[in-house]
Amino acid sequence: MPIFTTGDGHEIYYKDWGKGPVVTFSHGWPLSSDAWSIQMQFLAEQGYRCIAHDRRGHGKSAQTSGRNDMDGYADDLAELFSALDLQDIVMVGHSTGGGEVARYIGRHGTKRVKKAVLLGAVPPVMVQSEANPEGLPIAVFDGLRRDILKNRSQFYKDFAIPFYGANREGADVPQSLLGEFWLISMQAGLKNAHDCIKAFSETDFTDDLKKFDVPTLIVHGEDDQIVPIADSAYKSARLVSGAQTIFYPGLPHGLTATHADRFNADLLAFLRS
């Protein structure tokens, strides 16, 4: 398996498909690089080198006891880029992975980065506070922590439904896709998934976004039930200088699977622009 060992001694798994300009993919919670398979296959066929890792504690990577936070995730990504000597990267991040991309740029800059894509991404900050009254109450995230400790298998089955918008009238989401979400999610370590909730919900990426100095595309489904667009993409678009935006009416959080052809075409157009 393609793996590299982090500075703190943990093995991180990654996929490396195709040849050409480099596109990296950071996945959402509580998934793995498998969530990007459709996009990676598509872009590899279009002449791109596609690299996606399993975040520490997720997928095939080591289930670590520490550094399950955005700084740790960003530093792991920096070590991967260094290990593979990647240059002129287009970084793509979905949901929690969008936070990972933002924190990477905030901590490590854009020396290796050519462009960035934030899709259904958690920045600038999800949790409600006096400074962010539009955010989601902390009780929402406390509920996630409670439910994965109580019965994570059932939680992931339930969570897949709003993730893909399967609870909307007229939705055509196959049971097999919901089952795939459960299967991938169950590979994440319990502690890692639990710790990651704090990372994606309470981290403030405002200063990270202000450091973006590369062409950036912000993409979001307007019916995202997991990361509401009003408190994420709309705000991020104002913080990232010159950001381009694509907001899909009626589309869900997991649109990379439910509307893959549409997203793939828009992603390819941005890569070629």
Who contacts 4 (Cβ-Cβ below 8 Å, separation ≥6)? 11, 12, 14, 79, 80, 83, 84
153 is annotated as an active-site residue: no
Q: Which of 53, 94, 220, 253 is catalytic?
A: 253
Put simply, whether the predicted model's pTM sits higher than 0.95 gets the answer: yes
Residue 77's closest CA among 48, 47, 109? 109
Q: Which of 224, 231, 232, 236 is catalytic?
A: 224
224 is annotated as an active-site residue: yes
Q: Which of 37, 61, 95, 185 is catalytic?
A: 95
236 is annotated as an active-site residue: no
> How high is the mean pLDDT in each 10-residue block of the chain (273 residues)?
94 98 98 98 98 98 97 98 98 98 98 98 97 96 98 98 97 97 98 98 98 98 98 98 98 98 98 97
Domain ranges of the chain: 3-272
Contact 212, 241 (CB under 8 A): yes
Domain formed by 3-272, architecture: 3-Layer(aba) Sandwich (3.40)
Query: Which pLDDT value is given to residue 1?
Result: 79
Which DSSP state fits 36?
G
